[in-house]
Amino acid sequence: MSNIIEKLKFLIVDDYADMRSVLQNMLLSFGVQNIDMASNGKDAINAIERQRYDVILCDYNLGEGRDGQQVLEEIRHRKLIGVGTIFLMVTAENTRVMVMGAVEYEPDSYLTKPFTKDLLGQRLTKLLTMKADLIEIEQAIANRDHDLANQLIDDKLKKKKSKNHKILLRLKAELALQDRYYDEAISIYKGVLENREIAWARLGLGKAMYFKENYADAKELFAELISENERFMSAYDWLAKTQQMLDEFKEAQSVLQKGAILSAKAIPRQEALAELALKNGDDKTAEKALLQAVSLGKHSIYKHPSMFSNIARIKAKNGQQAEAERFVRDINKSFKDNPEAELYTAISNSMILEDEEAAYKNMKIASKLFDKLGSSTSAQIAVDMAKAYSHAGDEEKAKQVLHQAASNNHTDAEVLKGISDTLGQLQLEEDPQAIISEIRKKVIKLNNEGAKLARDGQLKEATQLFEDAAEGMPANIVVNLNAARTFLMYMEQTGVTKDLSVKLEKYLRRAQNIEPDNRTLLSLKKRSTKLLESNS
């Protein structure tokens, strides 16, 4: 191992200086030369932002601030580490809550204190052998070059003796899911399952079915996973998502409640449970889940102003006005210089303040802040804004916001379902599903018309159509990509001008903000760079 390990970069994360020294000495005895250390979660993440580490040894309990699980969830969420990096969780705890929480975010392994140098060496040898040929793939994924990543995976899969055969198949399937090649993902997962029953392949197959809107089969797959392994936590989340798409809201809440009991530290699960409970009129469960999410989220990447806002509304509804106002004040304290926090403060105050004049004033502020956020507004923020408009009695504005959100997200069945449910809950439409279906059809028709114009060589007309569409749907990824594509094609045919290149860049930038890893976007950016460089 010494020839390999001495070239690697290590990060030790532990709040005790003595333990950092012990781990450092163990690594030095293996010949490791490049070792950085951090005493808390914040410093660890700062270090990982600055450079890539081959191995991270992170204690679970880091004192004040983020714990080891929260470090892992943040660096995975932000894609600060890839498939070639080893994350080894070190812990003196073995409680069920700790173990379930740590395992949920998939460390490569974990060691329970005390452990010997030999045990650490054995674990590292095994993990390094497994990870050695994944570095190139990790780099390709980090560069968002999925074509190269897939080529590298295919080359390695051709070698029958590859020790990472299953890992490579899993990576290929996950890339297919990310790129929306659902049939390809299904083929890979089914191929794996033909040879052996593997839980991750069944979960992936369920996800692909879900994205293809085959909810009945997806539900069956997720339910089977839970029945065979009650601690397969991801299956709880996906089963609940699928049940919601089938309007089985109470059943979905029950599934998430079971999941939250088994593993209470997953903030997205607590948020999802709260949202479902609110939909089901179960304020008690919603409040409990939100309070848990706020408590866990103090140092988490998943912390969001909407948590505090929802608690405040529940408190106000239950006559706890002082508590409600305290949670609203906590929004700005917890999210300084955050435009979304300002918006949620105004939304919350407009809905909980007993002084009608003050509530109206906050509604005006919320409206201005929402408009200022513009195309960067998420569907969830749009839904919360619509609820505020509805509460203020402005039903037309509430409908307008929700219709706009549906237009911006016409390919996302999950988002459209949430918007449809909100239209129904607020009694804004007699047939919400029909309205959302009609909006979806109109956007699809518009895209098809523009694509046909481009295919027929009517590029000027196509650019005008998509330019108008993109102005009306500034957060629609498909419309903005089509606008960028047609402007690019127009310049390739007629020549580069400043006006056209500015517009092209605008739509590429919008798409980048909406979905930075979109495969079509990356292809268009390459074409754009090549064209502009050839004309510089």
For the cut 60, the answer to whether the pLDDT of residue 216 exceeds it is yes
| Sign of the CA dihedral running 485, 488, 493, 499 | positive
Measured distance CA(324)–CA(320) in Å, rounded: 6
pLDDT in tens, 460-512: 999 999 999 999 999 999 999 999 999 999 999 999 999 999 999 999 999 99
Dihedral in degrees, nearest 10, Cα atoms 351, 353, 357, 363: -30
Q: For domain 2-140, give the CATH superfamily.
A: Response regulator (3.40.50.2300)
C-alpha to C-alpha distances, 480 to 314, 450, 506, 510, 515, nearest whole angstrom: 38, 12, 9, 7, 11
% of the chain beyond a pLDDT of 90: 73
The model's pTM is 0.85
Amino acid identity, position 406: A
* pLDDT(101) > 70: no
What's residue 129's pLDDT?
81
Nearest CA-CA partner of 351 in 397, 405, 310, 291: 310
Nearest-5° angle of CA 100, CA 103, CA 108? Answer: 160
Give the mean model confidence (pLDDT) for residues 11-26.
Answer: 95
Q: What is the pLDDT of residue 102?
A: 47
Spatial CA neighbour of 142 closest among 65, 82, 94, 221: 82
- Cβ atoms of residues 283 and 317 within 8 Å: yes
The pLDDT value given to residue 301: 82
Residue 72: exposed, middle, or buried by beta-carbon count in 10 A (0-12, 13-18, 19+)? buried
Average pLDDT for the chain = 91
Which residues, at least 6 apart from 351, have a Cβ–Cβ distance to it below 8 Å?
A: 313, 316, 359, 387, 388, 391
* pLDDT exceeds 50 at position 255: yes
Q: How confident is the model at residue 162 (pLDDT cuts 50, 70, 90)?
A: low
Q: For residues 280 and 251, give the distance between their C-alpha atoms in angstroms, rounded to a whole number.
A: 10
DSSP, collapsed to helix, strand or coil, labels residue 141 as helix
- The span from the CA of 462 to the CA of 447, in Å, is 10
Query: Residue 34 has which token pair?
Result: 């490049």
Residue whose entry in the numeric block shows the structure tokens 């509304």:
313
More confident call, 92 vs 204: 204
Q: Is the pLDDT of residue 104 over 80?
A: no
Provide the pLDDT for residue 134. Answer: 84
Among the ranges given (103-112, 191-200, 286-295, 313-322), the one the predictor scored with the smallest mean pLDDT? 103-112
Tell whether the model's pLDDT for residue 294 goes beyond 90: yes
The predicted model gives 257-263 an average pLDDT of: 89
Neighbours of 517 (CB within 10 A): 13
Of all residues in the chain, the percent with pLDDT exceeding 70 is: 96
Q: What is the pLDDT of residue 96?
A: 54
Sheet holding 9-13, edge to edge: 34-38, 9-13, 55-59, 86-91, 109-112
The answer to whether residue 100 scores a pLDDT higher than 70 is no
- Per-residue pLDDT tens digits for 420-454: 999 999 999 999 999 999 999 999 999 999 999 99
Give the separation between CA 327 and CA 27, rounded to whole angstroms: 46
The pLDDT value recorded for residue 376 is: 66
